[in-house]
Amino acid sequence: MDNMEKSYSRREFIRTAGAAGAGSLFTAAVANAGTWSASAQGGSSYPRVRTRVFGNTGVKVSMLGLGGYFDTAMNISLIEQAAKLGINFWETTNKFGGKGYGLYFKKHPGSREKVFLLSKTKSKDPATMVRDLDKTLENIGTSYIDLFVIHAVDRIESLDDRIRKVAERLKGEGKIRYFGFTTHSNMEQCLAGAAKLGWIDGIVTTYNYRLMHRKEMQQAVKSCAKAGIGLVAIKSQAAMAHPTATIGVETETSLAFAHRFMAKGFTLHQAKLKAIWENPLISSTFSMMPNTTILMANAAAAMDRAALTSRDMELLKNYANETLSCYCAGCARICESVAPNQIPIAKVMRCLMYYHAYNDHEKARSCYHRLPMAIRQEIATADYSIAERRCPNRLAIGELLRRASRELA
């Protein structure tokens, strides 16, 4: 990467950022001299995404991580672009293979050691975990993964001693350096529980401008930091499960901050990322960056040192409150403990989010169809009145789940 850094000039960055439509925040970043290293100002280098230390590992990871798996050779140029921008924290999974990363490492000898690579398994069965890891290593053509995580943990009790032992064995064999999990349900409880375990190195968690104000979340993040656990935020845009997500929910506040951020040269998307980085205890944020436009816009936000003001943060918080009933906060233990026939309400909400907010109908349907048929048959007719009364965000659970059964069947 170092050689490529030198050949990637400031002018080239400006040209690419402008072409990608990331120009205004980029201009703000340039105006902020702190964003540029001395050599960059002299034109011999280019700006790089800032780094933060990842928990007790001591590794400096880029504040912006490369999400999206990159499974084909077609991704190579985007990966190269990300590497040039200093994005050194990359995500992959055995399902998608990360073959694009493998091709990148082959094309750029010596680059593997400069990347902090995360891979996932969905399994908590030790033999399957090892199989998934081996498959990823083979796909990428690397001998180790930096951070190996179990995906979608929703109860810390599910991380039992068998898992601790396999994690320790894999570390001993040099196949992984660190171990952890991802969570998008009951995040606060999972984080707080992990802080007490003593063998979790890193956690990838749903965390955004809506959740960061919750007392339980603030305490859980602090506990992890105290325990030396590195934290990565996902679902940074806090996308809504509600059908209005497609068009956005316009409120007085949203109009106010749209004007405000535009005047400062941010997009709302960039402002939401910057809100996460306001918390120094969050080391990085994984963002799906399927094209140069999004990559450059996110990178510009991660380079810019201008902090959001307290008024900016207040507006985001107000907007979160005004649109509370459109957002599922993943507190599954609250609604699912009273859900008829153990219907996984939060999971169905996530499918709806993929459908309405991401506009990814295929992903939404495949997420929904992974639910057992017996459960799917219950979804449209079940009575959710108790769950609705308990939902802290006052979601119209019944209406939304009936909608899911129509749209995603």
In angstroms, give the least distance from the CB of 69 to ligand SF4: 26
- Does residue 75 interact with ligand SF4 by CB under 6 A? no
Spatial distance between the Cα atoms of 398 and 375, rounded to a whole number of angstroms: 15
Stretch that binds ligand SF4, among 16-24, 149-157, 342-350, 365-373 (CB under 6 A): 342-350
Stretch that binds ligand SF4, among 207-215, 282-290, 367-375, 387-395 (CB under 6 A): 387-395
* Pair 237, 359: CB distance under 8 Å: no
In angstroms, give the least distance from the CB of 193 to ligand SF4: 18
Spatial distance between the Cα atoms of 54 and 37, rounded to a whole number of angstroms: 22
Counts for the chain of helices (H) and strands (E), in that order: 20, 10
The single-letter code of the amino acid at 247 is I
Spatial distance between the Cα atoms of 335 and 186, rounded to a whole number of angstroms: 11
- Does residue 193 interact with ligand SF4 by CB under 6 A? no
- Does residue 78 interact with ligand SF4 by CB under 6 A? no
- Does residue 339 interact with ligand SF4 by CB under 6 A? no
Among 98, 393, 404, 408, which residue interacts with ligand SF4 (rule: CB under 6 A)? Answer: 393
Q: Which residue has the tokens 């998307």?
A: 269
Which CB, 102 or 330, lies closer to ligand SF4?
330
393 contact partners, CB below 8 Å, separation of at least 6: 324, 325, 327, 328, 329
Spatial distance between the Cα atoms of 104 and 362, rounded to a whole number of angstroms: 28
Torsion over CA: 92, 116, 266, 325 (sign) = positive
In angstroms, give the least distance from the CB of 375 to ligand SF4: 16
* Pair 391, 335: CB distance under 8 Å: yes
Q: Which residue has the tokens 């008024």?
A: 311
x/- track of binding to ligand SF4 for residues 296-335 (CB under 6 A):
--------------------------------xxxxx-xx
- Does residue 211 interact with ligand SF4 by CB under 6 A? no
- Does residue 404 interact with ligand SF4 by CB under 6 A? no
Among 297, 395, 401, 408, which residue interacts with ligand SF4 (rule: CB under 6 A)? Answer: 395
Which CB, 229 or 334, lies closer to ligand SF4?
334
Q: Can you give the binding site for ligand SF4, defined by CB under 6 A?
A: 328-332, 334-335, 345-346, 349, 391, 393, 395, 397
